[in-house]
């Protein structure tokens, strides 16, 4: 089994390249995308078409309900699934997607976390009713660990609190004595680079196509079923449509806002990718195709 990862900003053409390579080099595809992981969010996530999904087996797509929350552990499970199948069927693996944070976490590794007892879970639930008190408690126990966590960061405070209640050890000390173990090893990373002006044009065109394809109706139906509380409903493309449905913006403004916010995301992705990964290649579609072909042969 051989594997590689294709990263790059949104609308750069990563998925098309991954599909081409998968067809030619007997590969399965793991999508590492924070929105495609959800069922029913099809247009807003720019998910591959049904025909594309049928032509190559994909992992990391349509795995969660929009009411659930994705995390790095979601993608670890998906990587375990695809790795098992690739080894059993003598196939290669191509990882592709814009949510590079998850890929980075799996390459760098995660520290072992204890199993939380029902007592710990119940105690934490009660304590979290006063988030400020939890933050102050953790500041006394672990001033270093809490220093970068704001008093209203409920997700990270909960994680630290659970770890402390279960282990009776300051989270910083726990992580020091339980160093990270990589999930993904021996995986060349290829970054697909696209000039900013060209990328902006692609984003604008894709946004218009998404709206014409029924984005507004898709989001309206998601809101009807799931409401606005789930994390998935706070994504680019969905938030702007909700503003449109509220009568705050018109359709032209909707398209402009989605395009602008997507371009801003693309810039953040480019910055993250250039600073966080040791790249095996950085270049155009044609350049990466040659490098990937040599790896997967």
Query: Tens digit of pLDDT for each residue in 39-91?
Result: 999 999 999 999 999 999 999 999 999 999 999 999 999 999 999 999 999 99
Angle at 23 between CA 22 and CA 29, to 5 degrees: 30
Share of the chain above pLDDT 70, in %: 100
Domain count across the chain: 2
Whether 100 and 149 share a structural domain: no
pLDDT at res. 229: 95
Same domain assignment for residues 72 and 151: no
State yes or no: pLDDT of 26 exceeds 90: yes
Point out the domain boundary residue: 177, 194, 213: 177
CB 64 within 8 A of CB 77: no
Local confidence band at 236 (pLDDT 50, 70, 90 cut-offs): very high
Whole-number Å distance between alpha carbons of 39 and 32: 14
144: domain CATH number is 1.10.20
3: β partners: 93
| pLDDT for the residue numbered 148 | 85
R_g of the chain, CA atoms, integer Å: 21
Q: Are residues 169 and 186 in the same domain?
A: no
Of 156, 177, 198, the one marking the end of a domain is: 177
Q: What average pLDDT score do residues 11-33 get?
A: 97
Integer Cα distance of 271 and 7 in angstroms: 12
Domain that holds residue 272: 3-109+182-296
User: What is the Cα–Cα distance from 175 to 188, expressed in whole angstroms?
Assistant: 27
Tell me, yes or no, whether 206 and 98 share the same domain. Answer: yes
The rounded mean pLDDT for the chain is: 96
| Residue 33, pLDDT score | 96
Same domain, 222 and 264: yes
Predicted pLDDT of residue 155: 85
pLDDT (mean) for 228-253: 97
Residue 217: per-residue pLDDT: 98
Tell me the pTM: 0.85
């Amino acid at each position: 089994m051989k594997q590689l990862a294709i990263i790059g900003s949104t609308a750069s053409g990563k998925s098309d390249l991954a599909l081409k390579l998968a067809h030619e080099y007997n590969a399965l595809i793991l999508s590492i995308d924070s929105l495609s992981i959800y069922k029913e969010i099809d247009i807003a996530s720019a998910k591959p078409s049904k025909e594309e999904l049928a032509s190559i087996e994909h992992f990391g797509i349509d795995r969660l309900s929009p009411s659930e929350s994705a995390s790095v552990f979601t993608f670890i499970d998906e990587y375990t699934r695809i790795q098992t199948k690739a080894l059993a069927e003598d196939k290669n693996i191509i990882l592709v997607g814009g949510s590079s944070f998850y890929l980075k976490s799996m390459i760098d590794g995660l520290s072992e976390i204890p199993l939380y007892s029902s007592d710990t879970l119940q105690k934490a639930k009660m304590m979290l009713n006063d988030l400020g008190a939890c933050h102050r408690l953790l500041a006394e126990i672990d001033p270093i660990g809490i220093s970068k966590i704001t008093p209203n960061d409920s997700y990270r405070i909960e994680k630290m609190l659970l770890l402390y209640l279960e282990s009776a050890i300051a989270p910083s000390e726990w992580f020091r004595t339980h160093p990270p173990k990589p999930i993904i090893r021996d995986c060349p990373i290829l970054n697909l680079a696209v000039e900013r002006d060209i990328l902006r044009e692609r984003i604008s065109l894709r946004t218009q196509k998404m709206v014409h394809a029924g984005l507004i109706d898709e989001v309206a139906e998601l809101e009807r079923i799931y409401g606005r509380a789930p994390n998935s409903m706070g994504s680019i493309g969905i938030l702007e449509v909700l503003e449109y449905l509220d009568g705050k913006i018109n359709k032209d403004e909707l398209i402009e806002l989605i395009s602008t916010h997507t371009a801003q995301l693309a810039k953040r992705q480019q910055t993250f990718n250039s600073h966080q990964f040791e790249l095996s290649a950085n270049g155009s579609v044609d350049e990466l195709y040659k490098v990937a072909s040599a790896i997967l042969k």
